[in-house]
Structure 1
Amino acid sequence: MKNEIVVLITGCSTGIGRELCSILFHKGCTVVATARNVETLKDLSASLRLPLDVTQKESINSTINEVVSKFHKIDILINNAGYSIRGALEEIDLNSAKSMFDVNVFGIINMIQAVIPEMRKKQFGKIINIGSISGKFVQSINGAYCASKFAVEALSDTLRLELHSYNIQSTVIEPGPMKTNFFKALVDNSGDVIKNENSCYSHFYKSDDEYRKKQKQADPKVAAQAISDIILKKRLNARYKVAVPFTYKMVTYFPDFLREYFMKKR
C-alpha cells in the first residue's frame, strides 16, 4: 500500500466539508468522507464513504475501526461537522442549544478521543478544527453559536499543549460567511424563534435577516482550496482566518468597547 496521507473528514454532505473531500482526493490523499446520511456522499470524490454521527460513540468507533482496518492509520482528522441556531439568549430553546453543542463541541471531543490513540501509535498526526470567525467576537442573537465556536478555539489550544510531545499538531480554521446551505439550515433550525413578531427582540431578528440577504459570502470552493493548502503544510500555526471580510478581520483586533460599539451599530 502506498504511504498516502489518510484524511478523515466529518460533515461532508455539504459546504466546506464536501469541497475539501474533492480537493484533497485530487491532490492524492486517501480521503474518508463521512456524514450522518451516507447517501448524500454517493457522488462525492473520496476513497471511502462512511456513515458517521459525531454525537454517538458507537457510530464513531465503527467508523474509526473500519478506517484503521483498511488503511492502518489516520494522519489528519478534520472536525468539520457543525451547524448554527439563532435566537436571543432569553428565548432560545435550550434543548436545541444543547443539541448544537453536542455536535459543535462535544462532537469534536468525541472524535479526538477516538482518533488520538491511533495517531499516538504512529507518533504523528494533525487535528484540524473548523471553527468560525464567530469564535473571535460575538453578535446579537448569535450568542449560543458563538459560544460553541469560542469553545472550539479553546479545545484547539488545549490540544497543542497536551499533544506536542507526540508530534500531533492542532489548529483551528476561522472561516467567514460562505455561500452554502449554512444560513438556510440556520433559519430552519431557528424559525419558531426568529419569526416571532411578538418577541421583544423582533427588531434584532428582522435586522439580522436583512443583513444576511445583502451580506457578501465567499465561494466555498475557494475557501476549501485555501484550507487544503494549510492542512498539508509541514508545520501548522495555531489558527488561520480563511475568507474573512476585511471589516471582520479588523473587528477581531478592536478593544472591547470599540468592538461592542461596532456590533451594536451593525
Structure 2
Amino acid sequence: MTTTKTALVTGASSGIGEATALKLIALGYTVYGAARRTDRLRKLAERGVRPLAMDVTDDDSMRSGVDRIVAETGRIDVLVNNAGYGSYGALEDVSQEEARRQFDVNVFGAVRLTQIVLPHMRALRSGTVVNVTSMGGKIHTPLGGWYHGTKFALEALSDCLRMEVRPFGIDVVVIEPGGIRTEWSGIAADHLEKSSAGGAYSGQAEAVAASMRSEAMVKRMSPPTVIADAVGKAVTARRPRTRYATGFGARPLLALRRVLPDRAFDAMMARSVGLPR
C-alpha cells in the first residue's frame, strides 16, 4: 500500500470534474479521473491524472474501476461523486425512461459507487466522500423537476450517510455549486427543447432554454475552479464543513429560499427565466 493519498473523481472529462482532478493533483494526491470515454481524458493524463473508464450506471464497470485503483495503490481516500447531467422538461412531458436515467446517473450511480468504495475507507479508518449536488438541491426552477428531484435526493442521502459512517472516521461533504461555466446548461437546454417542444409547455420551454443559453447568463457564471477549490478545502480540512455552497448565485439564492414564502420564491424564479408570474 502506498502512503500517498488516492482520489477518485467521476465525470472528470470536463468542467467541474476536470478542474477537481487537477486541483487534487496539485494537492499531492494520486488521482484517477473517471469517465465513460477515456479519449476525453487525454489532457488530464498529460497532467498526471490516471484515466479510468467508468460508467456509473454499470455495476461491473464501477467494481472493476475500484478494483484497479486498490490493486495499484492499495487505498482510496477520497471519492468525488461528480458525474451527472441536467434533464429538463415539464414533469408531464418527460418520459419515465428519461426520468429513470436521470436518477440512475445522478443518484443511484453515486450511491452505488459509494457502496463499493466504503469498505476500503473503513479499512483505513478514514476517508472523505464528496457528493456534488447543486444549489438546485435546495431550490427549484420551472421545468427542472426531475433534475431537482435527483439533487434533493442526493442531499438527503448524504446527510444520512454522514451520520452512519462517522464512527469509522469517514467524512461526507456536500458541494452545492451555483451557476458554473460548463457544458451543463447547454445540455440541459437541449433536453428541455427535446422533451417539451410543440406541446402545452412549449412556450415555457423556449423561454427557459433561451435563458440557459443567454450570453448575459453565461458571462455571470463562475469558472469550474471555484468548485475545485471548495473540494480541495473540504478534503484537506481536519474537520470539514458538511456543505460548501459556492459559485454564481448559490449563497444569495439559498438565503432567499430560507426566508421567502413559497409563492414569492416561485414568482422570483419565474421572472428570472422570463416566464409570467
TM-score of the aligned structures, taking structure 1 as reference length = 0.93
Residue 9 of structure 1 aligns to a residue in which SS? strand
Q: What is the aligned residue count?
A: 264
Of stretches 213-222 and 54-63 in structure 1, the one that deviates more from structure 2 is 213-222
Counterpart in 2 of 1:265?
271
Aligned to 1:243, which of 247, 267, 276? 247
Superposition RMSD in Å? 1.6
- How is 1:1-266 mapped onto 2 (pairs within 5 angstroms)? 3-44=3-44, 45-194=47-196, 196=197, 198-212=198-212, 213=214, 214-215=216-217, 216-245=220-249, 247-257=252-262, 258-266=264-272
Counterpart AA for 1:117: P
- Distance in 2 (alpha carbons) for counterparts of 1:208 and 1:189: 11
Q: What are structure 2's unaligned runs of at least 5 residues?
A: 273-277
Counterpart in 1 of 2:275?
none
- Deviation (angstroms), 1:2: 5.4
Residue 199 of structure 1 aligns to a residue in which SS? coil
- Distance in 2 (alpha carbons) for counterparts of 1:94 and 1:140: 19
Tell me, yes or no, if the aligned pair for 1:21 and 1:46 is still in contact at 8 Å: no
Tell me, yes or no, if the aligned pair for 1:171 and 1:238 is still in contact at 8 Å: yes
CA deviations on 1:211-255 (whole Å, 9 max, x unpaired) are: 221322111123322332222212122211011415423323224
Q: What are structure 1's unaligned runs of at least 5 residues?
A: none
- Deviation (angstroms), 1:47: 4.0
- Distance in 2 (alpha carbons) for counterparts of 1:117 and 1:23: 25
- Deviation (angstroms), 1:114: 0.2
Counterpart AA for 1:192: K
Residue 60 of structure 1 aligns to a residue in which SS? helix
Of stretches 219-228 and 158-167 in structure 1, the one that deviates more from structure 2 is 219-228
Of stretches 182-191 and 37-46 in structure 1, the one that deviates more from structure 2 is 182-191
Counterpart AA for 2:269: M
- Deviation (angstroms), 1:132: 0.3
